[in-house]
């Protein structure tokens, strides 16, 4: 199997993770459980001064959630872009893939500790796919030739 397909699969998995994350961010204040709604009320009603502004814990929570969504989108795009490995960019792509794979591994561990296994599975599977693609890049036939030089005509 080619590294390009593996990396694009990882990108799609992270994109799906981002969709799920976005849905959670958009609906975290809506829950039929009265105990959860009391916590939401406490998080959103009380504001505290911080760095020249006044924000609630709910606003911080929501803001971090939105930033998480953007981070997942960024990771998706990076994985997609580096999947087009050519001989001329192989070394740089390998460094980027290694970095993203390590970050996704840590991200998945954090999700296991602070969130839930389903979310962690997306990050951990994508991390493993990234590491697998690195192994594939060391095999012949997984890297496209050098970029074509533009003709002078």
| Domain ranges (residues) in the chain | 3-137
Please state the φ and ψ torsions of residue 55, each to the nearest 5 degrees. -135, 155
Confidence tier at 145 by pLDDT (50, 70, 90): low
User: Looking at 37-46, 106-115, 117-126, 133-142, which range is the least confident one?
Assistant: 133-142
Over the chain, what is the mean pLDDT? 92
User: What value does the mean pLDDT take over residues 80-103?
Assistant: 93
Q: By percentage, how much of the chain surpasses pLDDT 90?
A: 83
Of 104, 92, 119, the C-alpha closest to 22 is 119
Q: How far apart are the C-alpha atoms of 44 and 56, rounded to whole Å?
A: 5
Q: By percentage, how much of the chain surpasses pLDDT 70?
A: 94
Residues ≥6 apart with Cβ < 8 Å to 117: none
Q: How far apart are the C-alpha atoms of 82 and 25, rounded to whole Å?
A: 28
Residues ≥6 apart with Cβ < 8 Å to 78: 96, 100
Segment 25-76, tens digit of pLDDT = 999 999 999 999 999 999 999 999 989 999 999 999 999 999 999 999 999 9
């Amino acid at each position: 199997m080619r590294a390009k397909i593996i990396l694009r699969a990882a990108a799609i998995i992270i994109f799906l993770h981002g969709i799920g994350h976005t849905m959670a961010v958009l609906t975290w204040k809506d829950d039929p459980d009265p105990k959860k709604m009391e916590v939401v009320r406490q998080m959103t009603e009380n504001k505290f001064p911080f760095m020249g502004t006044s924000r609630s814990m709910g606003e911080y929570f929501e803001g971090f959630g939105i930033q998480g969504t953007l981070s997942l989108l960024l990771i998706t795009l990076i994985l997609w872009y580096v999947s087009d490995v050519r001989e001329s960019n192989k070394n740089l792509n390998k460094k980027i893939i290694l970095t993203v794979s390590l970050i996704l591994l840590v991200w998945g561990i954090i999700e296991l500790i602070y969130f839930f296994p389903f979310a962690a599975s997306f990050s951990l599977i994508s991390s493993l796919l990234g590491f697998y693609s690195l192994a594939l890049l060391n095999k012949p036939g997984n890297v496209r030739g050098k970029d074509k030089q533009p003709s002078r005509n």
